[in-house]
Amino acid sequence: MTHSFVQHIPDAELEPEPLPQDQILSGSPEVSGKLLWESPDGRCLRGIWQITPGVVTDTEADELFVVISGRATIEVEDGPTLQVGPGDLAVLREGDRTTWTVHETLRKAYAITLHH
């Protein structure tokens, strides 16, 4: 996409993005998302992501996100425990190993920068 745009996040249609089984620690969380914009070099991504309740692990990218709806606890290995909910802005560092406990289906808008 090469032009400016607006996307209403709460009712955006998302596509399923199945999680690898080894990332699921508890429950049966389902992930979906929508990539809204990608830089020509593929290093900058902007989009919407959603996860239903459960517990999952992840290794993070360099990401800034804003929670639109839902709640989660994000435990960063050797770092802080973040409580996120509607209206919260969070920053995750590339390489952070995290455990997400999703209490209510969480939808976020994100901006990711890939450095490799």
pTM assigned to the model: 0.94
8 Å CB contact between 88 and 67:
yes
Contact 111, 74 (CB under 8 A): no
> For residue 64, what pLDDT is reported?
98
Domains and CATH numbers, the chain: 16-113 (2.60.120.10)
Query: Which pLDDT score is estimated for 39?
Result: 94
pLDDT of 57 reads 98
Q: What tens digit of pLDDT does each residue of 14-28 get?
A: 999 999 999 999 999
Model confidence at 2: pLDDT above 80: no
Measured at the CA of 60, the angle between CA 54 and CA 65, to 5 degrees, comes to 80
pLDDT at 9 over 60: yes
Q: pLDDT by residue (tens digit) across 56-75?
A: 999 999 999 999 999 999 99
- Indicate if the pLDDT at residue 1 is higher than 80: no
Residue 91 has pLDDT above 70, yes or no: yes
Average pLDDT, the chain: 96
Burial label, 87 (beta-carbon count in 10 A; 0-12, 13-18, 19+):
exposed
Predicted pLDDT of residue 3: 82
Q: β-strand 24-26 against 54-59: which pairing, if any?
A: antiparallel
Which residues is 108 bridged to in the sheet? 49, 67
Predicted pLDDT of residue 31: 98
